[in-house]
Chain A
Amino acid sequence: MAEPAKQDNTGAVTPKTEDGAAAGPKIGVFICHCGSNIAGVVDCGKVRQAAEKLPGVTVAKENKYTCSDLGQEEIIKAIRENGIERVVVASCSPRLHEPTFRKCIERAGLNAYLLHMVNIREQCSWVHSQEKEKATDKATDLVKMGVSKASMLQPLAAREVPVEPVSLVIGAGVAGIQAALDLANMGFKVNVVETQPSIGGKMAQLDKTFPTGDCAICILAPKMVELARHPNITLLSYSDVEEVKGHIGSYEVKVRRKSRFVHEDKCVGCGLCAEACPVKVDNEFDLGFGQRKAIYVPFPQAVPLKYTIDKENCLHFKSGKCLLCAKACSNQAIDHKMQDEVITLKVGTIIVATGYETYVPMRKGVYKYWEFDNVITGLELERLLNASGPTGGHLVRPSDGQVPKRIAFIQCVGSRNKKINKNYCSRVCCMYAIKDSQIINEHEPKTEVAVYYNDIRAFGKGFEELYHRVREEYGVEFIRGRPAKLTEDPNTKAITIRAEETLLNKITEREFDLVVLSTGLIPSPGSEKIGKVLNLAVSPDGFFSEAHPKLRPVDTAIDGIFLAGCCQGPKDIPDSVAQAKAAASSAAAPMYAKKVWIEPLTAVVDQELCVGCGLCVELCPYGSPELVPGEKGGMKARAIEALCHGCGTCAASCPQKAISPMQFTDTQIFSEIEAALHEPTKKQNGKKKAEAEVS
């Protein structure tokens, strides 16, 4: 087999000594107890004793919490007093605290990249909690691997890159709008990309908001208008982000401006075209309850108030005739030949605010959403209650247009249900059902409302108070139990709910005129697309995952990309707005500083070893290595630092082993493999010999 290069291409070679003499750099090992998280399983004393015997280790210490001030001070002290040159911290995942400890050793004057973290918590104590002895052995091995790699680490210089003071906000629901406005008000240029013809998102569809009863569109519309008029904001509605390249500071973004077949600059939103249009189709904004024309604005307060032709339904696209809209338009804004346009933006930071979708009840489900007219979803109810909705805010039931006198809500539809892989609580359904039961009673006093629930989660400010109020003031009945069966009276279209009322411990059958399914929140289809474009990590629930659940709630694992609103998980409007403001402030930080330091984990080509075969040039997904004439003749590969992302796929294929991805060089990885498999017993000698023969 191929023997690893004996020499690290970065220069210095650290001789490894069998007897433990400190011929290489002095290594300090810091083993964290993490309270009892690690020490409760791993015998840290034993790990430390083993570490002390490893080659190069001059200091080995245990700390209760290495990340605490005291723990960090101890590292700094060891560097200053014992001349420690490489630091190994055995604690949690490097994905959590690597930046912390890099800063720590830097404070002591050591290069930040002379640190190696050994993961003995997430990948040891927490996963082997019942096997303490083996967990200790594993931790010992992992530390040995870490020390071995640490002895090979070389100082690296972080790269300073300029930050374009321009941001991109993807998605313009309430979260995206707020984030964009905050950044724009701070003085940054912001590009807002929204896939729909209008901004506003789901909030624009809602009637009133809990717990205060503010009208959703009344508080949202002014923000929508402000966004469209803001001198620092470029609104790209009816557009999709197709491709994103680059890194924090300079992302290059390709945006497809879908053709509206209406020139935005000429359309004044008068609506004459829609009056003339002979085609009527269901309006998605009203969830099929209302209708719109084939040329339309989704709702009266749409921003921008520009019409859009729905190509699928437009007669002209179907038959080549009609053009009544174009004739009606006095501004010649309509152009059926208009094409999509792809533009490129350069931005320093990106905020993802792609929102949510509501759960669609199952076709063959118990709740018969697809079979019974009078079973609707919570969002459909919002449209029926909304003054600018299809019924003008008059609550009627779909089957016959009559006012329902008895209404049931069924909670947790598409939430907290393992069978459909939606284990999570959607966090808003309890409160919107409670809020809607209040609004229903305001519209039609004395409507009987019953809510079938599992648990009522009224956790926010003013929520519990509203919960009590609807019970006391409007007599809303809360029935604990999940309905088992819904049947429809073929004549009256009334729905009978059969359920076990667990508080009464009996099975009841009750009849209602209208049943509302409180459907939960699921990731939007747009999120899935954007997630792929940006390479964002996704949580088990399908929403984007934040960099850290507690401490970095709006950051992603990718520098310069932030999350706001429901794309990160279900939340209500105040939480979405708060998160949007946090994302805006996080995105502002590097843009204010105008520069960031990015990790120097790039590939370096050894010009001596390179034979200029060009394989790396072919393999690199970023076009980083290029072939240039070498100093001593011939073509040689050279990595372009600014383009290199440090994946290391070039190095894995280099036949000459001429490429070293920093911190993941061949020598470093081979040393980890050796340490992982090197048994502490003398039997190893025989094996070593065998290995020597191979090489």
Chain B
Amino acid sequence: MEAGAQKTDHEAVYEPRIVAFCCNWCSYAGADLAGTTRLQYPPNVRVIRVMCSGRVDPAFVLKAFALGADGVIVAGCHPADCHYINGNEKTAIRGDFLETFLDEAGIEPQRFKVEWIAGSEGRKFADTIKKMVSDLEKLGPISQEAAQDE
């Protein structure tokens, strides 16, 4: 179906939809810290908590795109800071794979990000969301054809 038609009827402005997978120990805590310090960011993101970013099966990311997500973020602990020793190393590898795969499927690289966000980096979490929303606003809605192609 037409991607343009996906825009919500009641609003003329395009509201990108972002799914963020956050690890419990660092990036989810970072997102919580953004809250406790009242750092404002656009409400376009839906966070799914996982224990480790290494839990994020590439299929989750592809599924999100297939269901119409305009952007997907996988956020974990900084390298060498993983609560589970090295889960984030696997995230990095899967992230590289996904980037190549999405590129071939015609999905713009700005739509998928692997970010390392520490529990103390509330600011970075807020900035990451802001950046992706502004990138996606420039980019417009995801091509449903490309998303479904996967």
Contacts and interface: CB of A to CB of B under 8 A. Distances in A.
Interface string A100-135: 000000000000000000010111101111110011
A690 B46 CA distance: 22
A538 B26 CA distance: 10
Contacts of A651: 55, 57
Contact of A1 (B36, B63, B80): B63
Closest 8 CB pairs of A and B: A122-B35, A648-B55, A649-B54, A647-B84, A647-B52, A621-B85, A126-B35, A677-B67
Interface in A633-681: 645-649, 651-653, 661, 664, 666, 669-670, 672-674, 676-679, 681
Nearest to B77: A535
A207 interface: no
A248 B133 CA distance: 41
B90 A669 contact: no
A127 B41 contact: yes
Contacts of A621: 84-87
A691 B57 contact: no
22 contacts: A2-B59, A121-B35, A122-B35, A124-B35, A124-B43, A145-B46, A538-B120, A545-B119, A545-B120, A622-B84, A647-B52, A649-B54, A649-B87, A652-B94, A664-B50, A677-B64, A677-B67, A683-B5, A687-B1, A690-B144, A693-B148, A694-B148
Contact of A664 (B35, B55, B62): B55
Given A537-B29, A648-B51, 17 more contacts: A1-B66, A93-B35, A122-B31, A124-B43, A127-B39, A138-B46, A145-B46, A538-B118, A621-B84, A651-B55, A652-B94, A661-B55, A664-B50, A677-B67, A679-B68, A687-B1, A694-B148
A323 interface: no
Query: In this complex, which of B82, B120, B150 has the most chain A Cβ atoms within 10 angstroms of its Cβ?
Result: B120
A601 B26 CA distance: 18
B83 A535 contact: yes
B127 interface: no
A191 to B, nearest CB: 23
Interface string A75-98: 000000000000000000111000
A672 B48 contact: yes
Contacts of B8: 679, 681
Nearest to A121: B35
Given A123-B47, A127-B39, A683-B5, A673 B67 contact: yes
A374 B117 CA distance: 44
A311 B79 CA distance: 34
A332 interface: no
A127 B55 contact: no
A619 interface: yes
B17 interface: yes
B56 interface: yes
A278 interface: no
Contacts of B120: 537-540, 545
B69 interface: yes
Contacts of A619: 90
A124 B83 CA distance: 25
**Most chain B CB within a 10 A radius of its CB, from A119, A123, A661, A666:** A123
Contacts of B84: 621-622, 645, 647, 649
Give the bracket for the number of chain B residues in contact with chain A: 35 or more
A676 B19 contact: yes
Given A127-B41, A138-B46, A666-B57, A694 B35 contact: no
B43 A134 contact: yes
Nearest to A645: B84
B48 to A, nearest CB: 5
Contact of B43 (A94, A131, A669, A670): A131
A382 interface: no
Contacts of A4: 59, 63
Interface string A527-566: 0000010010111100001000000000001000000000
A142 interface: yes
A681 B9 contact: yes
A141 interface: yes
A310 interface: no
Contacts of A537: 25-26, 29, 118-120
B111 to A, nearest CB: 14
B134 interface: no
A137 interface: yes
B66 A691 contact: yes
Contacts of B113: none
Contacts of B118: 537-538
Contact of A557 (B25, B38, B41, B52): B25
A320 interface: no
A678 B57 contact: no
B126 to A, nearest CB: 7
A539 B5 CA distance: 45
A669 B60 contact: yes
A641 B129 CA distance: 37
B132 interface: no
B52 A648 contact: yes
A532 B81 contact: yes
Given A138-B43, A677-B69, A145 B55 contact: no
